[in-house]
Amino acid sequence: MVNDQQLIDQTSQQQSLPELPDGRVKITYIGGGSRQWAPNLFRDLALCTEIEGEVALYDINYESAKLNAEFGDWVLDKNEAVGDWEFTAVEDRATALEGADFVILSTQFDPADTFVHDLDIPKRYGIYGAVAATIGPGGILRAMRTIPVYRELGAAIGEHCPDAWVLNYTNPMTWATRALYEAFPEINALGLCHEVFHAQDMLADLVGRYFDEGRPNRDEIDMNVKGINHFTWVDEAYWRGIDLFEVIDHHLEQKGALREFSVAEMADEDPFVDNNQVTFELYRRFGVLPAAGDRHLVEYAPWFIQGTMPDDLNRWGVKRTTSEYRSQHWEDDATDHQTHDVKSWMDGEEEFSLTESGEIAVDLMKTLSSGGMMKTHVNLPNRGQVSDLPEGVVVETNALIKPNNAKPITAGPLPRPVRTQLRSHVDTHETLIKAAVDGGNVDLAFQAFLNDPQVRTLQTEAARELFAELVDAEADYLGDWDLEASVVLSESNAFHS
């Protein structure tokens, strides 16, 4: 017969039930002075009730982080706000990272010192990049600036919050995400980009146009996504069981669906305008749908930036981002749609409306921490989700998100002609990562540069001079690269540092 004491002893030996999560999380924002992503995040947090907690904002520009913390509090004071968050600007990165459940990354170097050169110097060599942010000569220089920083961030996350989920918005997306995993292979990092959402929106628009059902939400458009960031492809797309490729085919038969634009028509257009003409041209030629904006596609598939410029780019309805736009966009009084002027909102100079941003960071954090399930596209190292690209390279596919788990969904192989294009870019990604890890090997970085499809339009000597001129202009941001040991730079007349 078991007495009371034995029952107590047996009970005490049993494993206790796990505690329910309290719903409070710590979000660390590296680049917390962000002028686009941070204000978008604060909107969504203010409208969120499933999770709550603190947001630590770290930025090398502490005053910008302080301003965003004030803005976060200001948003929470709105009548429509239902979230419970504490925003704090933190001067020390390690303190900001310590104990974080989520780390959001969105950083950028001063465009006046970097981006301007990425756009203007290649143009003098006849390379008319539309964005110069993630590929091409300017994109590669941006990667050279970014990879060492993100290797350092990966190591810091491994030290201070190794179990945190990391949401990276920083471009060049593939290189930044790959650098995080190179530094800390066990990191839980997801690269996030909204370009695929735009493809879903485009297909939703076609559904609304050709079916008497109203325009569906983009989430109702189911696509099989495969590729690399800004050069992602879709080989299946459905809405309510309807093959949307048949809808695209029908659309392209309609008058005006395919057209050319003039320089005059494009003169006053926003640089971010997207007329889908490059998208449709690539779809017609390869039979699968590219799922990125045309301004990015023309850099990865550079047929469209050859010829007489700007005429032969504008004819596709694409407009080049100018260096003047980039530098002005960064100034404190910039009010374009890519930069939020939080001071003008708080001072009442501009109307503020508390609405959802359309981004998914908060949805991801809710799902990863408090339950549920969602499917979305993310950038992750390849573990077979794109079967004919190398293991370990960062690819963009759908993934199933569940509590504390992000499982990429197998997307299958790419059509050979498309794979040919992607493989060139993937090899460039990996070559540059190796160059960064190998003591900042500039000559190996030049090999990656030389293999870029945009650069392959030049003679090798001209490519060397372009590379050296870019490095010389941005040398202050390339301190982790061994410039003095470079044979390529020593051969050039353009390198003076």
Q: Which residues are catalytic?
A: 194
Task: Give one DSSP letter per residue of 140-179, joined into a string.
Answer: HHHHHHHHHHHHHHHHHHHHH-TT-EEEE-PSSHHHHHHH
Say if strands 24-30 and 231-239 run parallel, antiparallel, or are unpaired.
Answer: unpaired
The strand pairing partners of 242, in sequence order, are 239
193-220 residues labelled b (16+ CB within 10 A) or e (exposed) = bebbbbbbbbbbebbeeeeeeeebebee
The count of C-alpha atoms lying within 13 angstroms of the C-alpha of 352, restricted to the half-sphere facing its C-beta, is 25
Backbone angles phi, psi at 78, to 5 degrees: -70, 150
Phi-psi region of 430 (alpha: psi -120 to 50; beta: other; left: phi over 0): alpha
Q: Cβ–Cβ contacts within 10 Å for residue 222, how many?
A: 16
Closest CA to 60 of 31, 97, 89, 34: 31
**CA–centroid distance for 24 within its chain:** 27
Say if strands 24-30 and 102-105 run parallel, antiparallel, or are unpaired.
Answer: parallel
